[in-house]
Structures are given as C-alpha cells and as structure tokens.
Amino acid sequence: MTDTAFQTTAAPSSLKVSDEVAIEIVNMNKWYGNFHVLRDINLTVNRGERIVIAGPSGSGKSTMIRCINRLEEHQSGKIIVDGTELTSDLKNIDKIRSEVGMCFQHFNLFPHLTILENCTLAPIWVRKVPRKEAIDTAMHFLEKVKIPDQANKYPGQLSGGQQQRVAIARSLCMKPRIMLFDEPTSALDPEMIKEVLDTMIQLAEEGMTMLCVTHEMGFARQVANRVIFMDQGQIVEQNEPEEFFNNPRSERTKLFLSQILGH
C-alpha cells in the first residue's frame, strides 16, 4: 500500500503515553510442530501506546498478537496482560479476552445475528449487562463508527468497510482497555480502507492502547508512536515512526521498506 492512502493530519506526539504497563511479553517462544514461529519475543507496551507491527508475510506478526489474547498458545516465556499472566487457567483467559478487543482481517462478524445483536451479545452474556443498557452502548459505538442506521441489518448486507467498522464497534462494546488489530484493512477495497483507518485514528486519539498488524504505512506514520518490524519470527527493529521510515537501521528493514514504499 502507498502512504498516501490517507491524508488526515493529527499530531501523534500530542497523544499521551502513560508509564503504566499494559502488556508485558518476556522471552516468549512458540512453535508450530517443529517450526519455530516466534523466537524470544520481548515487548513491553505502556498504556496509551499505539504500536504498528510490520513485516513480510510469515514473519509471525499475526501470531504474536494472537498470543496476547491466547488465540494461539505460546510454549515458553511469559505474557502478562493488565497484570494477569496468561496461563492455561481458563478463568484468566476469559478475563483477559474480555479486556482485550480484537479485529480480524475477515471481520468474523456473526452472520446469523443482526449488527445490533452482534454488538450486544458479549456485553449481555459475558459482562451480564442489562439488555437495555447493552443496546444503548451498542448504539453509541455504532454512531461512533458512523453506521447506526444499519443496526438492524445482517452482516451479509453490509460492505466490507462497514463490516469492519461494525467489528470495531463490537469490540468496543466490551469497553476493552487494549485493542488488537490483525490486518484490519487487508481484505478491503481501496475505497473502503480509508473509512476503517479513520475509525482507528479516532480510537487512537481517544487514548486507546492499540497494537496493529498492518501494511498501511501512512497509518503507521501518522498514528503510531512506535513501529515494530518483524522477520522470521523475531523483532528485527523498533523505532519511532519518523526514524523508522526515514532512517531504517537494519538491512532487512531497508529492503522491506523499499519494496512496499517504492512502487
């Protein structure tokens, strides 16, 4: 993708990052069978940070953020989310999952439920919020992603961009403290990418802790306070976005950037 995909200007430096640690990953390793997908990952994310994770496909970036809410299991090392360590204890896992929102490349909305039901389901069943209140919250967030008028439609009747915004609203309805984005715009038509990115920028400006796997380098430049570059299952380079793009240090990063920005 080009970095002109989007042009709104916001000053990332104006966004505050607190000293409080939101996610801590220590010496984390993961294997698929004999294949070592994640190698000795160390990462500390403070509350309010907006981190973009870039890298070639197969570099383990999706796997890494999926470990944070245990959609993938790590085999060694530690992941601590909001002070709770991820172990095989189901209670901890469900607790962390309800605090950590996630948006997927293919949205993963529930096609048999309306948009509104998609958004109220988890608050009602997991948070035990009264139905009325859950609907109010859902409408609030649907308005925020600018599709309150679609509330009674089914996901199949919406465009890709609208579905992804619903997916974001659905996560927000759980009032998460951290949001994970796994290539949220990769399955979208170019015209729809902007509407999703706008929603994500808005979220960032409100101080949400975000980890985004994305190829939208314009987004990274504008919103991220840190860019992480991964290759072959390890973190190769991390830096502030300006430095990262203008002055990459490792050869692999230089190659990657020349590939995706040079066309």
Q: Which residues bind another protein (CB under 8 A)?
A: 69-71, 90, 94-95, 97-102, 104, 106-112, 121-122, 125-126, 154-157, 170-171, 174
Helix or strand holding residue 120 (H, E): helix 115-125
Supply the minimum distance, in Å, between the C-beta of residue 249 and another protein: 34
Of 59 and 69, the one with the shorter C-beta distance to another protein is 69
Of 106 and 254, the one with the shorter C-beta distance to another protein is 106
Supply the minimum distance, in Å, between the C-beta of residue 110 and another protein: 6
Q: Is 186 in a helix, a strand, or coil?
A: coil
3-state per-residue secondary structure call for 205-239: HCCCEEEEECCCHHHHHHHCCEEEEEECCEEEEEE
CB < 8 Å & 24+ apart, contacts of 254-261: 256/54, 256/55, 256/56, 256/229, 256/231, 260/1, 260/215, 260/217, 261/2, 261/3, 261/217
Of 184 and 248, the one with the shorter C-beta distance to another protein is 184
Token pair of 185 as six digits:
């715009």
Q: What are phi and psi of 98, to 5 degrees?
A: -75, -15
Supply the minimum distance, in Å, between the C-beta of residue 220 and another protein: 23
Supply the minimum distance, in Å, between the C-beta of residue 231 and another protein: 25
Of 111 and 130, the one with the shorter C-beta distance to another protein is 111
Of 108 and 202, the one with the shorter C-beta distance to another protein is 108
Supply the minimum distance, in Å, between the C-beta of residue 79 and another protein: 15
